Amino acid sequence: MRQERLQKIMSAHGVASRREAEKMILDGRVFVNGILAKLGQSAEFGSDLITIDGKPIRTEDKHIYIMLNKPRGYITTNCDDRGRRTVMSLVADVEIRIYPIGRLDMNSEGLLLFTNDGEFSNRIMHPSYEKHKTYEVEVFGDVREAIKLLRQPINIDNRLIQAANVELSEVNSSGGSIKITVVEGRNRQVRKMCAACGVRVRSLKRIAIGTLELGDLAIGKWRYLNEEELKDI
């Protein structure tokens, strides 16, 4: 075994994401061998006793991976101090503590992954792994002109962004539907791209992450990923 940062150990064993783990350490909830832990501290899992709220991290914790078809009206967070509905209420019957990978904003819907495996979460989220995310977007406005612009680099938050793929799905009297695939998945990126191209988003649904597709999973329901899906993604 080798020494690793506490937040990495906590994330790898499904305690929390690295960011949440850092907050736990700062809040004084983490101890190593009976001594209050400090942010940036390292330890050796299996040799050092790491406890959170007095309970040790266990080696037998099982990693699980699920997908949820997130409805609109829910925020992607573990809890909300304003009393808004969170996606955690939709996976409350999962037997092990899990957390969402990435985010979908309140008014977006579709594929959202959950896990207690920090390394898996990092591989899905980090841009270096290039996990493409595909969205179905209904918009108001000149959709044909927007398609032309979306296929070019766009300046979003002082950064040039380019979609991996853009397809026109439908044109109607008020706008139409677009399928957009992006790699980075920055905060509200697709909505900002559409706004920069002169169209307003009516609805936004994530339908795929890499090779993993939402399929016919009902809105508000979740299921476990199977071994083949995990291997592919």
Give the active site residues: 105
Cβ-based burial of 2 (10 A; exposed 0-12, middle 13-18, buried ≥19): exposed
Closest to 107 (Cα-Cα) out of 212, 24, 222, 202: 202
Q: Name the nearest CA neighbour of 33 among 1, 6, 2, 60.
A: 6
